[in-house]
Structure 1
Amino acid sequence: MQEILNKVIKDPIHGFIDFNGARENELKNLLSDSFFQRLRRVKQLGFSDYVFPSAAHSRFAHSLGVYKIAKRMLTIIEPEGSSGNWSQKAEACLAAALLHDVGHGMFSHAFERAMGFFLARNKLEEGKRESLEDAVDHEKVTQKIITDSTIGEALVNFGGTEFPAMVRDIIKKADKNCIYTSVVSSQLDADRLDYAKRDAYFAGVSSGGIDLDWLLRNLKVGKNGDARFLYVDSKAYISLEQFTVTLFQLYPTIYLHKKIRGLEFMFALLLSRVFELIAAGDVPATGLSDTHPFVRFFRDPSNLDQARLLDDTLFWGSLHQFREASDASVRDIATRLSDRRILPMIDIWKVADEILASRSEVVELTAKTRVERIEAVCKAVAARLQKETSIWSDGCYYDTYNRPIYKPMGVVGGDPQQINVSVGGQILDIASISPVVASAASFNIHRIYYDDRKVRNTDDLKRFIREAAETEMARL
């Protein structure tokens, strides 16, 4: 009688991450692939440990957590799967859960922003531009790794020649009506359920009070036309409401924290300048050697073997070289980063909020109207500022982001991409049930970061923003 394979990995969020039986343990072998091992060296939250010292957890750990939750969700869709009898679609879903982040660049999304800075400031041949854009797009890189690398070969050996494409299509949401796609990518997916708990835990913030066990216990499978989906009865909808609120609150608390965004801006400035020098053929000015992985990546961005070398540890290991670069910009930003001297920032939202608070009519405004008024003022001020050439320069950066609490779809009867709640025999979007979710709350940032080496007249910059905010507020 063949021994049943059961292997576990300990995890502070989920207790144990189980790989049961021969098939799941074949999937576990993906963890040993060099592309997946690279995720150990990519932090889940980029520069967040500069603000929250314990937030140094990796994409590797997060990916295991997503696998754990996806497996629990799949047992609701395929109860017989828990004994090792998963359908091929379920196995593709488990593989997708493990691999959904395998193409993330160093410092997660900050690497994409760095390349965006470079491409916005430099003219390149269309083919080179496109290859660089694709090389930092974590979704495209993930899909390429799944089909065109050693991971792709392992997936073929596991499930046949069509299996890598099945895994890729789940991650890219090729079929949004597919319940297996919704497990990995939807508004209630294993990815969000893991990082909502994991990120809060490691950052040490109070958000993250999701009753995950209760929520998963109450998930059921519904059907609307040809689409199957997961839903909960109304008795458990508070857990779903709690999840949406928790995820929403992590944005102002962690993801959009002013200092973390400032560090990402500095990183983007540094790498953008490094890429400029490489493109100009002046590699020595960067402080790097001609064979350094950054140089090799820039020259051959479509090569996955080059991308595999790029992780957080490569950057930190190169920082001393950047600090000794002959290029003053590279040298200065690298020094500031290593010394945690974050570039200064002016919060337009805070300025507009203070101005509105001083006006008598503020007491008559609803919270929704107040936020809408401040948002309108911030956008107008930013637009005016960027046209003011005597103040605005390439040393300024406008950082804006809008994160709504939820994106309602309003599909009556249920949909795989919305959060579904059953009330009175009818399945509705949670936004139709919860007054909190229906509030359409959003968190917005409008900030000006500036390089104080280049922006000398900072008093003029601050004065312009305040005066423009007062003018725009008076117009409303």
Structure 2
Amino acid sequence: MLPELTSLFQTGSLVRIPPAQDVPMSARVRRILDTAPVRRLASISQLGMVALVYPGATHSRLEHSLGVYDNALRVLTRFAGDANFNAMVDVPMAESFVLAALLHDVGHWPFCHPIEDMRLSGLGEHETRIGDWIQRSELTECIEQDWNCDVADLLGLLCPKKEASASQSPGLHLPGHRFLASCLSGPIDVDKLDYLERDSLHAGVPYGRNFDSGRLIASMSIHPQTGKLAISDKGRTAAEMMVFSRYIMFSEVYWHHTVRSATAMLQRCVFLLQHRLDLESTLRMDDAAWTANLRRAAEGSVAEPLADGLFGARRRLYKRAAEFNVIDGDEVHSRLARKPYWWLVALAERLAGQLSSTCSTVVHAVDVLVDAPPVKLEVDINIDVVARDGTARPLGDVSPVTAALAHRQFDNHVKRVRVFLRDEVRDTIAAKLSLPQLTDLVMTTINTLEDEIA
């Protein structure tokens, strides 16, 4: 038994995290937690701009990482007596799974998700940087000295596609490895089980805590055909509730219109300053240093009001002028969802010009922001459910609650297209244009831009 699992059943060293959760420690886990890359996560916010709307949502990526690590131990405990699991998962694999859960966010930098969504040239995604953080720090020495797995095993779980193509290690193609990788990233995984509940707790809303995570873990099983994570039929209701919780958390927290206003301001600010900022050097900063660096770069530029509105002494966020989703406003939504970020900026600039001439008022290019669902889609929510007779079917096929979200793209319902205007500009435009008129102007501008690019 792993030392970390032993701590679950014996009185030992524990770390308390919200909500009254005792996370078991071992000497080797403490050494991991004391490394510089992991300590840095204590100064990086889990939710970034969400705290501008929900003031309690200031928890760190370190707290979340401890929660994911604790879930990984509970998954291993669930399968401890499973002969099929024990036949394919040995001690090094189990240890790499524990480490992967603990270190899965080590590649994060401040506000990295909205910045990743912009797909700026050469920046890449945080997952691609995990290897650098581990291999170029004391983490490698800790793993080599204290653990029975190696860094390649760990990275194979954290970045399975990238590592499988770059490595000749046979361990990356074994059934046990595939199963554990699906527990780390999939429709239901140790990451989502933590962040939904934790984000909900700190935001002060109930939506992400209305599912039974204990029941879900107890119902986890090995898929009879694919060998990946599935759930038994007894976990179906808990899975339905988790899917719905995730839907509501995106709708009411992660994609709340004011959160998205702040996010759109941040993205435009970074876009305008990308040649002033050495973005590569900012990836190793914590929140405070990153924010200070952005504000210095913005001084004297058109981006300065954006940076001050987000991080200055007084919060000044842009106001929502129009909103479009797949039910109301599908024509605009379908034209803008998953457009490249530079395209949305070009649209905003041209829309500013159209508003200026139509309303006989001065609207600067930076006064208009267009926010739309990014290119990257959310992970599939349709986990397979294994019946008593051993047959497996997608959750959406056996659950009417899940079917609509599984078959009618989750992203298109919770991620809306929005036009934001600087507050004074929004008031002026609202007095001169009705919403249908503004919608027609947006469509005209989209058509004009598409003709220009064609």
Bin for the TM-score computed over the shorter chain: 0.7 to 0.9
Moved more, 240-249 or 374-383: 374-383
Q: Which residue of 1 aligns with 2:215?
A: 214
Q: Which residue of 1 aligns with 2:451?
A: none
What secondary structure, in the 3-state scheme, does the structure 2 residue paired with 1:346 have? strand
1:99–1:65: structure 2 CA closer, same or farther, 3 Å change rule? same
1:9–1:276: structure 2 CA closer, same or farther, 3 Å change rule? same
Deviation for aligned residue 1:268: 2.5
Q: Which residue of 2 aligns with 1:205?
A: 205
Kept after mapping to 2: 8 A contact 1:248/1:405: no
Kept after mapping to 2: 8 A contact 1:237/1:421: no
Q: Which residue of 1 aligns with 2:255?
A: 256
Q: Structure 1 unaligned segments of length 5 or more: list them.
A: 120-128, 279-296, 351-370, 410-417, 472-476
**Deviation string, structure 1 residues 268-296 (Cα, Å, up to 9, x no partner):** 33334443335xxxxxxxxxxxxxxxxxx
Deviation for aligned residue 1:102: 0.7
Tell me the number of residue pairs that the alignment of Structure 1 and Structure 2 aligns: 390
Kept after mapping to 2: 8 A contact 1:39/1:59: yes
% same residue? 22
Q: Which residue of 2 aligns with 1:332?
A: 305
Letter in 1 for 2:369: Y
Moved more, 169-178 or 451-460: 451-460
Q: 1:446 aligns with which of 403, 417, 423?
A: 417
Give the Cα separation in 2 of the matches to 1:264 and 1:376: 24
Letter in 1 for 2:320: M
Letter in 2 for 1:466: T
Residue 171 (str. 1) matches residue 158 (str. 2): yes
Kept after mapping to 2: 8 A contact 1:145/1:152: no
Q: Which residue of 2 aligns with 1:78?
A: 80
Deviation for aligned residue 1:317: 4.5
Letter in 2 for 1:173: P
Q: Which residue of 1 aligns with 2:267?
A: 268
Residue 349 (str. 1) matches residue 320 (str. 2): no
**Deviation string, structure 1 residues 189-226 (Cα, Å, up to 9, x no partner):** 0000001110111101120212112222233344326x
Kept after mapping to 2: 8 A contact 1:155/1:164: yes
Moved more, 462-471 or 337-346: 462-471
Letter in 2 for 1:249: I
Q: Structure 2 unaligned segments of length 5 or more: list them.
A: 162-171, 356-363, 445-454
Kept after mapping to 2: 8 A contact 1:221/1:230: yes
Kept after mapping to 2: 8 A contact 1:210/1:246: yes
Give the Cα separation in 1 of the matches to 2:38 and 2:99: 12
Kept after mapping to 2: 8 A contact 1:188/1:419: no
TM-score (ref. length: structure 1): 0.71
Give the Cα separation in 2 of the matches to 1:257 and 1:9: 32
Letter in 1 for 2:319: P
Q: 1:12 aligns with which of 12, 18, 24?
A: 18
Q: Which residue of 2 aligns with 1:100?
A: 104
Deviation for aligned residue 1:460: 5.6
Q: Which residue of 1 aligns with 2:288?
A: 313
Q: 1:378 aligns with which of 309, 329, 333?
A: 333
What secondary structure, in the 3-state scheme, does the structure 2 residue paired with 1:263 have? helix
1:461–1:438: structure 2 CA closer, same or farther, 3 Å change rule? same
Give the Cα separation in 1 of the matches to 2:27 and 2:438: 58
What secondary structure, in the 3-state scheme, does the structure 2 residue paired with 1:348 have? strand
1:184–1:470: structure 2 CA closer, same or farther, 3 Å change rule? closer
What secondary structure, in the 3-state scheme, does the structure 1 residue paired with 2:160 have? coil
Q: 1:61 aligns with which of 47, 60, 63?
A: 63
1:381–1:315: structure 2 CA closer, same or farther, 3 Å change rule? closer
Kept after mapping to 1: 8 A contact 2:65/2:105: yes
Give the Cα separation in 1 of the matches to 2:265 and 2:316: 10
Kept after mapping to 2: 8 A contact 1:54/1:203: yes
Deviation for aligned residue 1:457: 7.5
How do 1:407-418 and structure 2 match up within 5 A?
A: 407=380, 418=383
